Structure 1
Amino acid sequence: MNTSDISQTTPASAMMSSADWPTFGWADDVRPALAAAMESGRSAALATLYKVEGSAPRGPAAQMLFTLDDNGEICATGYFSGDCIEGDVAGHAAQVLAEGLPRRLHYGAGSPWIDIRLRCGGALHVLVERIAPDCPVASDLLRHARERRPCTWISDGEQRRVETGGGELLSLSEEPFTIARRCDPPRRVIVSGGDPGALAVAHLCALARFATVLVQPDGPQQPPPFALDSYLRESPSTAVESLGVDRWSAYIGATHEDHHDLGGCLAALRGGAGYVGMIGARSRAPARLAALEAAGASAEELARLRLSPGMTGLGKSPWEVATGIVAEIMQALNPARERS
């Protein structure tokens, strides 16, 4: 494999769009940026953190994606270190885009670049590979995401393939060099309701980069005043069944109408959603559980239901309640994704 040795060329840090305010680091899933690049006919440089030694802000499998804009400036999605190495990785990514040859980069302890220091004291190893806009393997990766099927991206930087199914988040073979990164379906949250609390949950989920769907039965014709993946005016049970749920999906019932929320929860539980919750007073829990049991919910399904979700001690304002619920969703949908 013609992987460039990092000791041969050390580019200056690249000028990245929005570098002054690096909001590009908010995105954890680079697949939407990859899809946008491929649709516009642009190549992309995919950078994967494949090995970490010592302490580091991100664990193995974290990714960044780099593309060139119309002005020739490099645009980034994702982050590795909180501004320790991103600019330098961008410089290498620009050369990978220009030359086509992958690079393996080594930062921190043991690196040949003594002028690039990691404040955490660890070491990071990154593979940067160019993805052409017509790459069939990348297209297959995106197809798995659309169809909500887990898959594994296997690459040595030049030769790559996608295999259906999961496994470890990332596995590494040193000789011959190959990485295998698990790619789960995009995390998705379905929120039913239209009061300030439901809107706060939906808004925070969208800001957290979940694929967010708001469902309000017979709600306003005008869409919500913030960006969402979709807004539906049908019953929650109908929406959940038509959308389909899986263990990478969450459902929050917040219409405060039991005939809507209970139906949505039952559909989400039976579909295997990774998180199912219903907002409401704790005093209503026994009657709600009895109603779900009468509707056919199993004991195992009821054990997975979170009634009165959220975190105690945060307060009862819409944003405080929503913050606790979103934190629970993040925990439920992100088991062992990164090491601490």
Structure 2
Amino acid sequence: MTLTEDPVLNPALSGMIEDADWPEFGWIDDVRPALRAALAAGRPVALATLYKVAGSAPRGPGAQMLFAAGAGGHVAATGYFSGDCIEGDVANHAAQVLADGKPKRLHYGMGSPWIDLRLRCGGALHVLLERIAPDSPAAAALLDHAAERRTCLWASDGETQEAREDHGPLLALHEDPFRIARRYDPPRRLIVSGGDPGALAAAKLGAMAQFETILLRPGGPHAPPPFPVSRYLREEPADALAHLKVDRWTAYLGATHEDHHDLGGCLAALRGGAGYVGMIGAKSRAAQRLGALEAAGASAEELARLQLSPGVPGLGKSPWEVATGIIAEIMQALNPARERA
């Protein structure tokens, strides 16, 4: 890539995207919240799905971007594909799709007709752009599945769209006739119980990492925490988890340092099939805690899934260092690639 091809420096490539100079929109991996906001406002969107990759690439098949009409002819973007110059070009095509409703299939990199749009990785990316109307039944079904924490497949040829409860690979491609099926799992969720600096650091990092983050603080202050979380609850962890529908896309971290709070939460999370269950505390207390959970009815299989020394060793012992290691461990545990490619 030459200097003038950089999307930040070349207005012809980046001018369609709002906030292109500081592309924080690329941090967002799940396009559904932005889709919900746009449709609630009565605005159509252009959904871009990376459906095929050749060679090396920063993102794999299934990665998505979402574009909604913004002010002054710009589009508001969510997500990213390469970090190179193609995001601005995809935005230009997205504006056309928003205007005329005709889907597009874009090809960047090796073998592309656009030789001036090169990828640093040397690979090739194939992208489907499709328009979603504000009254789309398929989009409504997709969002309903997310709200009800059910896995959903988005099947589309660019014009005919369908969302149904189903499982499968993250992205299935049918070349002839062209059709993709993209799997959406329930949003990743982190439930943290506790209110000390370590618990708050874990909750804040989880929220920054795009987890649906719920902070539990039994009998805690009535005022919410001083940073954004999805929900703040003052009830017992076991009671909260009973109505939160724990599943394999949920991580629970017991960090009150009080066994009468954390053990009940861990047992409920294990029995609910949470994808990650951890409890912060001294290693010297591990045997006592395991014994208490076993006495409460926890099976050997459930206890084997419990992390009593959560996090990545060697990062340090400050709240942010401990929280960073725990969030990394949770990300790995909830990574869909561990279950289905």
TM-score range, shorter chain: over 0.9
| d(CA) in 2 for partners of 1:32, 1:43 | 14
Question: Which residues of structure 1 form unaligned runs of 5+?
Answer: 1-10
| DSSP-derived class of the 2:72 partner | coil
| d(CA) in 2 for partners of 1:339, 1:294 | 35
| d(CA) in 2 for partners of 1:315, 1:102 | 50
Inter-CA distance 172–309: structure 2 relative to 1 (3 Å threshold): same
When normalised by structure 1's length, the TM-score is: 0.95
| d(CA) in 2 for partners of 1:13, 1:221 | 45
1:144: how far off? 0.3
1:73: how far off? 1.4
Q: Is residue 130 from structure 1 mapped to residue 154 from structure 2 by the alignment?
A: no
Alpha carbons 1:167, 1:182 under 8 Å: kept:
yes
| DSSP-derived class of the 1:246 partner | coil
Residue number in structure 2 paired with 1:15: 16
| DSSP-derived class of the 2:48 partner | strand
1:14: how far off? 4.2
| Structure-to-structure mapping, 1:99-118, within 5 angstroms | 99-118=100-119
Pick which of 61-70 and 51-60 moved more.
61-70
| d(CA) in 1 for partners of 2:73, 2:247 | 40
CA distances 1:97-117 after superposition (whole Å, capped 9, x unpaired): 001000000000000000000
CA distances 1:107-131 after superposition (whole Å, capped 9, x unpaired): 0000000000000000000000000
| d(CA) in 1 for partners of 2:14, 2:114 | 13
CA distances 1:243-301 after superposition (whole Å, capped 9, x unpaired): 11100000000000001000000000000000000000111100000000000000010
| DSSP-derived class of the 1:247 partner | coil
| d(CA) in 1 for partners of 2:72, 2:135 | 22
| d(CA) in 1 for partners of 2:98, 2:201 | 41
Alpha carbons 1:169, 1:337 under 8 Å: kept:
no
Q: Which amino acid aligns with 1:251?
A: Y
Q: Is residue 47 from structure 1 mapped to residue 45 from structure 2 by the alignment?
A: no
Q: Which amino acid aligns with 2:149?
A: R
Residue number in structure 2 paired with 1:219: 220
Residue number in structure 2 paired with 1:205: 206
Aligned residues: 330
Q: Is residue 172 from structure 1 mapped to residue 173 from structure 2 by the alignment?
A: yes
Residue number in structure 1 paired with 2:3: none
| DSSP-derived class of the 2:18 partner | coil
Residue number in structure 2 paired with 1:280: 281
Residue number in structure 2 paired with 1:259: 260
1:163: how far off? 2.1
Residue number in structure 2 paired with 1:303: 304
| Structure-to-structure mapping, 1:1-340, within 5 angstroms | 13-336=14-337
Off by >6 Å, runs of 4+ in structure 1:
337-340
Residue number in structure 2 paired with 1:6: none
| d(CA) in 1 for partners of 2:190, 2:13 | 41
Alpha carbons 1:104, 1:125 under 8 Å: kept:
yes
| d(CA) in 2 for partners of 1:140, 1:14 | 33
Question: Which residues of structure 2 form unaligned runs of 5+?
Answer: 1-11
Pick which of 119-128 and 75-84 moved more.
75-84
| DSSP-derived class of the 1:185 partner | coil
| d(CA) in 1 for partners of 2:83, 2:213 | 26
Q: Which amino acid aligns with 1:69?
A: G
Q: Which amino acid aligns with 1:284?
A: R
Superposition CA RMSD, Å: 1.5
CA distances 1:294-332 after superposition (whole Å, capped 9, x unpaired): 000000100000002001110000000000000001001
| d(CA) in 2 for partners of 1:104, 1:326 | 36
| d(CA) in 2 for partners of 1:149, 1:84 | 35
1:48: how far off? 0.1
| d(CA) in 1 for partners of 2:110, 2:164 | 34
Pick which of 157-166 and 11-20 moved more.
11-20
Residue number in structure 2 paired with 1:3: none
| d(CA) in 2 for partners of 1:13, 1:95 | 15
CA distances 1:159-210 after superposition (whole Å, capped 9, x unpaired): 0111212111101000000000111000000000000000000000000000
